């Protein structure tokens, strides 16, 4: 076997060098495949490789992903154990920990649950609905790679004698395709008895695999192996030919059996060395024996089972039953055999005392396959049949409920179906496979479900009792539905056509079961709809719906409502919107009556609201559409988890309707949350995620952010091209949106090409007259774009107005044209300078700003992100205010805030912090544009960061500043107003970032007569925020609220670690020297003191949080300023300057509780209103 060994070692070395590799090891039973692989695995482990192994039998080929179940479970346990520093006992605990540590997200839990059912959340499995098989494969591998790459270098070994299911081959192909970039030091070994049967989708594996085929030993190889076993090192010593012949004959060339025969003969003292001939030979038992070879048993089972000759009869029975169950099994699934047979306790005894089995948790496996095969060989066919009947009877007698086993229930039905079949109880096998198929279908595992239904259909032919038409048709209808979900449309059509033909041939029988006929018709209609054959789908529904009406005359039948709604959706998609509306309203009425009769919950109405809303939107009745979608959203908020896919569906549709109503500003927070939810749950390759991106793009486009819209649509189309079959009708709306956006960005030629493709796809999917308005719009756009391109390419077009310059010009216009501010209707124009991302109070101030904007008290005209790294802060500001409903407020990148260029301070993480083309690269230019857009003496500057950028504006454009700015509000501090003739900034953090800039701003404002309002840290100390308010905000589920709550804990701990340091330590950054351990305890804990040696988290000890910047935001509003703040005045050059909080005793807060109630209400309303939780839909 050295050649085979060398081949595998070479593959291992290839993987170790960073070139992913795969090997197929094949050969009959007992030829040494496992031993060969174990040798390579041991060598790899000594080289630092992680080794993951699984074993499968022929029974497991029915179960999707079964060969990878043990692999993924072991990988999760290893990664989680490494991260925690102690071992996990189960894959469920490991998965929980990986989610907790953010290694996995919810979508990963769903994906991994497809392979390891115990890990899945049953409620989340429904989110797999509608996922294209290819997209699902990619999404599952996305999740697998998160743990596999942490185990590199890695060897995955898939051993077994059964076929590998198609789903697993697809996963392996995807893993190998991506391994070079994500998991380069990986080696996969697949062993099987025959060369593996690989699906066409994974054909690249066969091309790239190293093939290692083991064959039985030739006689000379048997001799070589015997020399090794008998430890013959002397070349002059030989082996008698009779010994070679008998061992080779008994062992059939199998190394394992050669070893077994040799060991047995040696233990029986049948082998001796003959000095005269210098040979090892068979020993004569007595002088009368003519043929000593007869002493060696001809049946190898006698040799293999000799160690078990003294087992008690009950233990022998347990071995025989276990051999009928299979090579490996889950004891949970066979607990029904404990009551009558005490099987599992006996298996455990056989494992512990006799070494028959090895097990991990509830999973048992025969320790030696040869022993398993030997026990099986002892049983006659009728004996095996009796045992299988006994197993079936035990299940029936104990009435095991598969639901008790949660996600293992499908395995119970599948395995019980197999035992029924082997017991030749065909009717019971049929029933169990139907149930197994139903469970797999309910879990959206359509590959496995289709196999179960095919098995059930096969057993129909063996049943002696004739089946009813319903029993024959139900598995066929379900099989067709599974094929449809798997996009195996031709097979689905063949199955369902056969089913309908049988129904119509048996007209007498079908007349007695109209409901069955309707199921068959609607199953075929759904197939036609999936293939965009709307005319065919419509004809079938028009045959099915009248029958359904006759069956269920009750005005509250949900089954009838579902069929009517299905018909209405076909009408909608085919373009007959008036009829679609009529039928959707009828379905809504039926469901409403069902709710009134308490036969279902209100949540059922959300389906009708959504479908009706989509229909009304298609009719351009957008206000009515929004009302329906908002009703659905309200119900889903009430009954479902915020992260549920149906919540994101309603968010999407509400956002789309708001966009169509010209209210895209309100739609963007909903669209952003829908994108985040779908990304978390479905992953980034699912059509549902693509749809959310498309809606977000429309909203961005509606507020003039075409370049952001373009980026979203390009991601969306990239997903759709993979998720849908080529030229699917669902791609058309996205192409039209993309063409519109490209036109807005100035990419006219590409826009024309996109519209032309939309026309081509429309013509492939629709007949003349269907969706005619959409087709005409595309044609009109193509003609219009052609004229515009021709015009721009004309030689008479001036330089700078050509095609090449158009896109750049549009970008400049989009970023530099600000609408004039309307003080009367929109409130006071305000420019905010923020170092958002340093701590959460900056972001909380922007949350307040969104609430004050809705009240028309403040009108933000620009937000400038300052303090290094200012570009990252701008990304955070952009994402934060977008999600709070201020996507039309421009954001600019300010200066480093007085920090040296080579120093970058931290910016906390947020999923919504992303680069955007719609961010001013020059924040100063944005300030100038914003000031020029407002009336004289109307703008406020709110400075909750370094004053460096304000100083720059005043130095460079003093005249503009003096003309437009009416007041500067500063979060910082001044030396007591009672000292000196002018205000002088103190050592507050914001001042300290660039003290020279701070001094300049205060001095200049007092010189030119611009009033200042300063809020000091003492004011924040006078109205601390309890951490419980952050919990309340987080409970709204708004992405900003959740992130603020998470970051607050991190920020407090980070601040503690800084104040513990010596004042000269550069790791303190710009924190003033007065901020030490004592200051921290007084500020955050009210009482008590910590040792500076305290290294654990201090979050649980925090009693109060000081939110400086939100108070400064409230101070900018005169009504709140008067109501809640007491200030000191300082008159300089006839202008009054205000200071709030001049000392620890004089905090400037009039009524702490009243102020807290004010801002907590504003915070909560800001989050709830941006999510449309409290919105009047009329």
Please give the pLDDT value at position 289: 46
* Average pLDDT of the segment spanning 24-53: 87
The residue that leads in pLDDT, 415 or 285, is 415
* Average pLDDT of the segment spanning 988-1000: 93
Please give the pLDDT value at position 810: 45
Confidence of residue 122 (pLDDT cuts 50, 70, 90): low
Residue 296 has pLDDT above 70, yes or no: no
Phi/psi region, residue 253 (left: phi>0; alpha: psi -120 to 50; beta: rest), is left
Confidence of residue 813 (pLDDT cuts 50, 70, 90): very low
Nearest-CA neighbor of 667 among 620, 714, 703?
703
CA distances, 636 to each of 597, 644, 690, 695, 864 (Å) = 20, 9, 21, 19, 37
CA distance 242 to 290: 13
The residue that leads in pLDDT, 117 or 535, is 535
Q: How many CB atoms lie within 10 A of CB 83?
A: 16
Please give the pLDDT value at position 543: 93
Helix ranges (DSSP H) in 399-533 = 409-422, 426-442, 446-460, 469-485, 489-505, 507-511, 514-530
Confidence of residue 811 (pLDDT cuts 50, 70, 90): very low
Chain mean position to CA 293: 65
Half-sphere exposure of 111 (CA within 13 A, CB side): 31
CA distance 1033 to 1045: 8
CA distance 627 to 650: 11
The residue that leads in pLDDT, 406 or 1146, is 1146
Confidence of residue 805 (pLDDT cuts 50, 70, 90): low
pTM: 0.70
Long-range CB contacts (< 8 A, 24+ apart) of 745-751?
745/706, 745/707, 745/710, 745/807, 745/810, 745/811, 746/806, 746/807, 746/808, 746/809, 746/810, 747/807, 748/785, 748/788, 748/789, 748/792, 748/803, 748/806, 749/789, 749/803, 751/781, 751/785
Beta-carbon contacts of 1039 under 8 Å, excluding residues fewer than 6 positions away, are 672, 673, 676, 883, 910, 911, 912
Span 1033-1050, pLDDT tens digits: 998 999 999 999 888 888
Residue 1133 has pLDDT above 80, yes or no: yes
Residue 1172 has pLDDT above 80, yes or no: yes
Confidence of residue 1177 (pLDDT cuts 50, 70, 90): very low
* Average pLDDT of the segment spanning 146-151: 92
The residue that leads in pLDDT, 1158 or 516, is 1158
Question: What percentage of the chain reaches a pLDDT higher than 90?
Answer: 42
Span 857-910, pLDDT tens digits: 999 999 999 999 999 999 999 999 999 999 999 999 999 998 876 777 889 999
Span 1093-1131, pLDDT tens digits: 776 778 778 888 888 999 999 999 999 999 999 999 999
| 8 A C-beta contact, residue 479 and residue 460 | no
Nearest-CA neighbor of 453 among 428, 435, 426?
435
Which helix (DSSP H) or strand (DSSP E) does residue 189 occupy?
strand 186-192
């Amino acid at each position: 076997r050295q050649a085979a060994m060398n081949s595998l070692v070479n593959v291992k070395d290839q993987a170790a060098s960073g070139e992913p590799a795969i090997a197929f090891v094949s050969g009959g039973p007992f030829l040494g495949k496992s031993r060969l692989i174990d040798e390579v695995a041991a060598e790899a482990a000594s080289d630092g490789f992680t080794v993951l192994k699984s074993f499968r039998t022929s029974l497991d080929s029915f179960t999707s992903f079964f060969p990878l179940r043990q692999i993924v479970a072991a990988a999760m346990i290893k990664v989680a154990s490494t991260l925690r520093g102690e071992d996990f006992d189960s894959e469920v605990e490991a998965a929980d920990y990986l989610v907790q540590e953010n290694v996995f997200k919810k979508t990963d839990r769903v994906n991994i649950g497809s392979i390891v059912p115990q890990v899945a959340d049953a409620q989340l499995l429904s989110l797999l609905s509608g996922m294209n098989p290819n997209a699902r494969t990619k999404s599952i591998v996305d999740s697998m790679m998160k743990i596999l790459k942490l185990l590199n270098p890695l060897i995955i070994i898939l051993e077994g004698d059964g076929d590998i299911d198609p789903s697993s081959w697809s996963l392996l192909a995807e893993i190998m395709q991506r391994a070079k970039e994500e998991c380069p030091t990986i080696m996969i070994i697949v062993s099987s008895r025959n060369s593996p049967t690989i699906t066409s989708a994974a054909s690249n594996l066969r091309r790239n695999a190293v093939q290692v085929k083991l064959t039985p030993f030739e006689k000379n190889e048997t001799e070589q192996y015997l020399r090794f076993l008998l430890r013959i090192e002397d070349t002059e010593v030989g082996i008698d030919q009779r010994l070679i012949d008998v061992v080779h004959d008994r062992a059939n060339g199998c190394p394992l059996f050669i070893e077994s025969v040799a060991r047995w003969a040696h233990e029986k003292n049948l082998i001796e060395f003959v000095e005269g001939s210098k040979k090892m030979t068979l020993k004569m038992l007595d002088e009368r024996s003519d043929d000593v070879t007869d002493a060696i048993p001809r049946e190898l089972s006698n040799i293999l089972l000799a160690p078990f000759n003294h087992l008690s009869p009950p233990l022998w029975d347990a071995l025989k039953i276990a051999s009928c169950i299979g090579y490996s099994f889950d004891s949970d699934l066979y607990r029904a055999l404990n009551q009558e047979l005490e099987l599992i306790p006996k298996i455990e005894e056989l494992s512990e005392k006799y070494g028959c089995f090895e097990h991990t948790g509830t999973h048992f496996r025969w320790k030696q396959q040869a022993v398993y095969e030997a026990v099986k060989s002892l049983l006659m066919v009728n004996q095996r049949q009796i045992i299988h009947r006994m197993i079936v009877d035990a299940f029936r007698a104990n009435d095991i409920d598969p639901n008790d086993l949660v996600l293992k229930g499908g395995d119970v039905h599948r395995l019980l179906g197999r035992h029924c079949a082997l017991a030749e109880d065909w009717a019971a096998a049929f029933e169990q496979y139907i149930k197994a198929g139903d469970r797999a279908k309910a879990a959206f595992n359509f590959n496995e479900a289709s196999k179960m239904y095919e098995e059930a259909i096969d057993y129909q032919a063996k049943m002696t009792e004739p089946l009813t038409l319903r029993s024959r048709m139900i598995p066929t209808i379900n099989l067709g539905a599974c094929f449809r979900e798997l996009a195996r449309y031709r097979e689905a059509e063949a199955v369902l056509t056969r089913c309908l033909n049988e129904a119509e041939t048996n007209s007498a029988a079908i007349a007695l079961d109209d409901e069955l006929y309707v199921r068959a018709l609607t199953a075929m209609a759904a197939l036609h709809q999936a293939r965009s054959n709307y005319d065919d789908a419509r004809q079938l529904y028009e045959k099915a719906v009248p029958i359904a009406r006759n069956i269920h005359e009750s005005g509250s039948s949900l089954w009838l409502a579902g069929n009517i709604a299905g018909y209405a959706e076909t009408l909608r998609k085919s373009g007959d919107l008036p009829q679609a509306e009529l039928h959707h309203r009828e379905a809504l009425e039926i469901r409403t009556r069902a709710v009134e009769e308490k036969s279902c919950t209100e949540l059922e109405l959300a389906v009708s609201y959504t479908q009706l809303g989509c229909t009304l939107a298609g009719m351009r009745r957008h206000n009515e559409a929004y009302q329906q979608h908002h009703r659905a959203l309200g119900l889903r908020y009430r009954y479902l988890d915020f992260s549920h896919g149906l919540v994101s569906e309603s968010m999407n549709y509400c956002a789309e309707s708001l966009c169509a109503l010209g209210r895209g500003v309100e739609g963007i927070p909903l669209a952003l949350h829908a994108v985040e939810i779908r990304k978390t749950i479905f992953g980034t390759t699912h059509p549902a995620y693509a749809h959310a991106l498309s809606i977000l793009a429309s909203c961005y486009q509606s507020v003039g952010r075409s370049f952001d819209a373009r980026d979203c649509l390009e991601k969306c189309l990239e997903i759709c091209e993979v998720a849908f079959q080529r030229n699917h009708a669902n791609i058309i709306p996205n192409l039209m949106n993309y063409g519109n956006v490209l036109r807005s960005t100035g990419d006219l030629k590409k826009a024309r090409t996109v519209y032309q493709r939309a026309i081509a796809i429309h013509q492939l999917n629709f007949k003349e007259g269907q969706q005619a308005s959409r087709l005409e719009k595309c044609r009109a756009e193509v003609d219009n774009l052609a004229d515009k391109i021709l015009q721009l390419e004309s030689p008479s077009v001036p330089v700078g107005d050509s095609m090449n310059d158009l896109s750049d010009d549009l970008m400049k216009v989009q970023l530099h044209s600000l609408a004039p501010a309307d003080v009367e209707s929109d409130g006071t124009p305000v420019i905010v300078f923020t170092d958002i991302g340093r701590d959460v109070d900056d972001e909380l101030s922007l949350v307040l700003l969104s609430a004050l904007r809705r009240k028309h008290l403040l009108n933000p005209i620009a937000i400038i992100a300052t303090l290094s790294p200012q570009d990252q802060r701008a990304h955070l500001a952009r994402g934060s205010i977008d999600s709070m409903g201020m996507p039309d407020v421009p954001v600019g990148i300010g200066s480093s805030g007085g920090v040296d260029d080579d120093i970058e301070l931290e910016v906390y993480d947020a999923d919504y912090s992303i680069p955007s083309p719609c961010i001013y690269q020059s924040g100063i230019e944005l300030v100038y544009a914003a000031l020029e857009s407002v009336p004289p003496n109307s703008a406020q500057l709110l400075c909750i960061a370094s004053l460096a950028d304000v100083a720059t504006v005043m130095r460079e454009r003093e005249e503009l500043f003096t003309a437009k700015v009416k007041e500067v509000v500063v979060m910082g501090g001044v030396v007591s107003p009672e000292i000196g003739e002018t205000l002088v900034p103190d050592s507050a953090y914001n001042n300290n970032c660039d003290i020279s800039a701070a001094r300049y701003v205060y001095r200049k404002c007092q010189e030119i007569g611009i009033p200042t309002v300063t809020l000091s840290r003492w004011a924040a100390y006078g109205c601390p925020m309890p951490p419980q308010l952050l919990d309340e905000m987080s409970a709204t589920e708004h992405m900003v609220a959740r992130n603020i709550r998470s970051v607050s804990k991190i920020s407090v701990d980070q601040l503690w670690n800084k104040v513990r340091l010596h004042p000269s330590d550069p790791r303190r950054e710009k924190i003033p020297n007065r901020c030490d351990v004592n200051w921290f305890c007084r500020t955050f804990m009210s009482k008590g003191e910590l040792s500076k040696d305290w290294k654990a988290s201090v979050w649980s000890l925090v009693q109060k949080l000081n939110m400086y910047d939100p108070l400064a935001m409230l101070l900018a509003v005169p009504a709140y300023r008067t109501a809640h703040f007491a200030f000191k005045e300082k008159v300089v050059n006839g202008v009054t300057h205000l200071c709030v909080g001049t000392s620890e005793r004089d905090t400037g807060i009039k009524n702490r509780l009243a102020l807290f109630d004010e801002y907590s209400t504003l915070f909560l309303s800001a989050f709830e209103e941006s999510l449309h939780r409290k919105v009047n839909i009329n």
